[in-house]
Structure 1
Amino acid sequence: MRTYDQIHKILENSKIGIAGAGGLGSNVATSLARCGIGKLVIADYDSVSEDCLNRQYFFYDQIGIKKVSALEHVLERINPHTKVEAHDIKLTEEKVIELFTDCDVIVEAIGDARIKQQLIESVLVKLPEKHLVIASGLAGYGNNNRFTTEQYDKLWVCGDQEAEVNELNPPMAPAVGIVANMQANVVIDILLRKL
């Protein structure tokens, strides 16, 4: 059994990369900051919009602000000891490698399927020693038991791996939050296995 002090020391000396600062990324980041993660490297190129407040950890007065800047402010209020390295960029293969090479774990939190696939392939091929925690299938609502975590070597997949976002099955705060917190929980588990 680990003591709180042992857990805290591991977490405060950890660096986590988060690709995306929307519904998944903003919720993963806030959970990890609350747990005492020492450093978060967050990349996103979008701005906070009113139509996304139903699932993203932002506030009405942050509409129009770049997500990474808004999230950095939110995280400062949650845990001023968590250092945030915010990058207002669209991720490319080169940027993924540049930003996340020295992170202990990388979290994929991207809505764009093409960029998501590019990130996953980049990490698996160029950074095979890294743990990568992704999400797949988080649309809709209800039936909490459909969400699982699957491990494929150093690739972790959280969600139901089926529910695609569409007009009849939109992303909503409860399901997005569940999957984001599953991702954060996997990150903590990976880090604490080092003890």
Structure 2
Amino acid sequence: MPIPSKEEMYRALEERHGAELQKKLDIASVAVCGLGGLGSNIAIALARAGVGKLNIIDFDSVDISNLNRQQYFPDQLGKPKSDAMRDTLERIAPYCSITSYNVKLTEENIPVLLKDADIIVEAFDRADQKAMLVNCVLENLPEKYLVSGSGMAGIAPSNIITTKRITKRFYLCGDGVSDVENGMGLVSSRVLICAGHQAHAVIRIIAGEFDI
């Protein structure tokens, strides 16, 4: 069966979201930095919502240890995550403009690779890399909105994962406490909850809803 036309898919989204919001989503540009448990789920949620431009970035490859919580398939093992996620997103949202980079983000390349995004999503695993990206964006791209994640490990209650507005343009999602090093690690359901918080924060920013 042929895939629906761009107009048909847009109309279906417009019926769900309303014309005003869907137009805002369609012209929005979002960068997802890190395509692991958080980033892969966030990217899929944004693509399904009809975000018009996605910039996805990761330097890692798909490993069997990723399959319990990340949106990859066994036949993608060994493939760069940026390529595997681009392929998946193109199946979900064939008319979304997707730019993928198989590169490690650094203080030097962040201002270049993220400069065209309206909203930047931090979805790294390591605390030091999270801090590096957040600090670099706040210092070099202060006009951007930034949505970050912190604390989603273990099987603690889902309701302690929240979204907080830290500054005018910086949002933090998670429980802010749990650490993969101090417990059972990352469980798919809880990672997905935090990813949902981040994706929804992005959608609300696009909609012009800036409160938490």
With the shorter chain as reference, the TM-score category is over 0.9
Deviations 1:20-42 (A, max 9, x none): 01111100000000000001111
Higher RCO (Cα < 8 Å, 6 or more apart): 1
Gaps of 5+ in 2: 1-16
| Residue identity in the other structure for 1:192 | A
Separation of aligned partners in 2, 1:167 and 1:75: 33
Percent same amino acid among aligned pairs? Answer: 41
Separation of aligned partners in 1, 2:95 and 2:157: 36
Query: 1:110 matched to which residue of 2?
Result: 124
Cα distance, 1:117 vs structure 2: 1.2
TM-score by length of 1: 0.95
Separation of aligned partners in 1, 2:127 and 2:155: 21
Q: Indicate yes or no: 2:102 matched with 1:84.
A: no
Deviations 1:119-168 (A, max 9, x none): 11100111111111000000012411111111012110100000001263
Separation of aligned partners in 2, 1:124 and 1:56: 28
Larger radius of gyration: 2
Gaps of 5+ in 1: none
CA RMSD, 1 decimal:
1.4
SS in structure 2 opposite 1:93? coil
Q: Indicate yes or no: 2:176 matched with 1:161.
A: yes
SS in structure 2 opposite 1:166? helix
Contact 1:36 1:81 in 2 (8 A): no
TM-score by length of 2: 0.88
Contact 2:153 2:183 in 1 (8 A): no
| Residue identity in the other structure for 2:201 | V
Deviations 1:86-125 (A, max 9, x none): 0000101121111111211000001122222111110011
Query: 2:32 matched to which residue of 1?
Result: 18
Deviates more, 1:135-144 or 1:58-67: 135-144
Separation of aligned partners in 1, 2:72 and 2:155: 20
Query: 2:160 matched to which residue of 1?
Result: 146
SS in structure 1 opposite 2:69? coil
Matches within 5 A, 1:32-111: 32-111=46-125
Contact 2:154 2:180 in 1 (8 A): yes
Segments of 4+ moved more than 3 angstroms: none
Separation of aligned partners in 2, 1:182 and 1:168: 22
